[in-house]
Amino acid sequence: MQPQQKLSGIFTPNLVPYDSKGEINEPELRRYIDWLIEKGVHGLYPNGSTGEFTRFTPEERRRIVAIIADQTKGRVPILAGAAEANVRETIKACEYYHSLGIRAVAIVAPFYYKLSPASVYAYFKEIGDNTPIDVTLYNIPMFASPIDVPTIQRLSEECEKIVAIKDSSGDIPNMIRMIQAVRPNRPDFSFLTGWDAALMPLLLSGADGGTNASSGVVPELTRKLYDLTMSAQLDEARRVQYDLLTLFDTMIYSAEFPEGFRAAVELRGFQMGQGRQPSTSEQQTDISTLSRTLQCMLSQHGFTNEPIGGCATGITEELGSNDVSQIVQRVVAELNRRNLI
């Protein structure tokens, strides 16, 4: 059997548009997929955190992947989120996605219950021994049991079907430790970062690509950053990384995740609809304010027109000093929570 191509490049964690009834808007989802592929993303990643997988039923998750597979028609590989509530249902999801011809699945460590490294290993070992499709480990310790480096190394050596890890911790040194531990014995093993703010430094440290929420909003920028970094055009890559960081921080810290990203995709011309997470009138007002800020940021790259009334010359003027202070405080608080500062 011909070996599968190594997972690499930018995989977009797909948002899902809703219709007026709060159901999956299939025509708009298909249009969005075509646009992402045309803009140069290397692959698609449905049913991830950005795609709000916990807010869909298992049947809806399967339907989302089936729609995307049908629309993609093999133009780019698909890495499908396959995490279900328990190992049996997760293996069933693996079997279904394999039947669709999906390239690989991503599976988050067990969530809700905080498990020991031994239990995390046993969970993925059960999946690795019984899956018909390649598996990407998904490390997101802010939401699920962490997957530590010894566990990743052991699974990579014992399970041929476990072929990659997607790390969304934002912990650069720890991902370097993963690469250092695994790559000598599994050179085919892929390392993908889910933290947009660290895309360039992790590519330079040996990562193969990313699953970056920003690529669903500005696929042109994330693809450009990847290409510049991989071709060692580092000064220009650094400038793109700084721009991407500013946009990413604004989208992720100025609203409940992933509403900032949904608002930004609306500005790129897609009808995303009202999300399934209820919000207060104050939160809806905040999103409207955020949308204007994002429109100003996107207009600087020619992705949108400026809002009516124009934009301030600098982000601090546009946001106001109190708003900037709040964003900074949220960023610092998040980094403290992750023990990164």
**Residue 195: which residues within 8 A CB-CB, separation 6 or more?**
167, 168, 169, 170, 202, 210
Catalytic residue among 18, 121, 138, 226: 138
CA 189 to chain centre: 19
List the one residue out of 155, 138, 157, 154 whose CA is nearest residue 146. 138
Query: What is the C-alpha separation between 297 and 282, in angstroms, rounded?
Result: 23
> Which residue type is seen at 324?
V
Instruction: Kindly report the backbone phi and psi dihedral angles of residue 242, in degrees, each rounded to the nearest multiple of 5, phi listed first.
Output: -65, -45
**228 touches 202 (CB < 8 A):** no
Does 50 belong to an annotated binding site? yes
Helical segments of 159-280, H only:
172-182, 199-204, 219-230, 234-253, 259-267
Q: How many CA atoms lie within 13 A of 288 on its CB side?
A: 7
Active site residue 166: yes
Catalytic residue among 96, 123, 166, 226: 166
Q: How many CA atoms lie within 13 A of 116 on its CB side?
A: 3
Q: How far is CA 201 from CA 109, 173, 198, in A?
A: 25, 10, 6
Active site residue 92: no
Mark the binding-site residues for pyruvate, compressed into ranges.
50
Catalytic residues: 138, 166
Mark the binding-site residues, compressed into ranges.
50
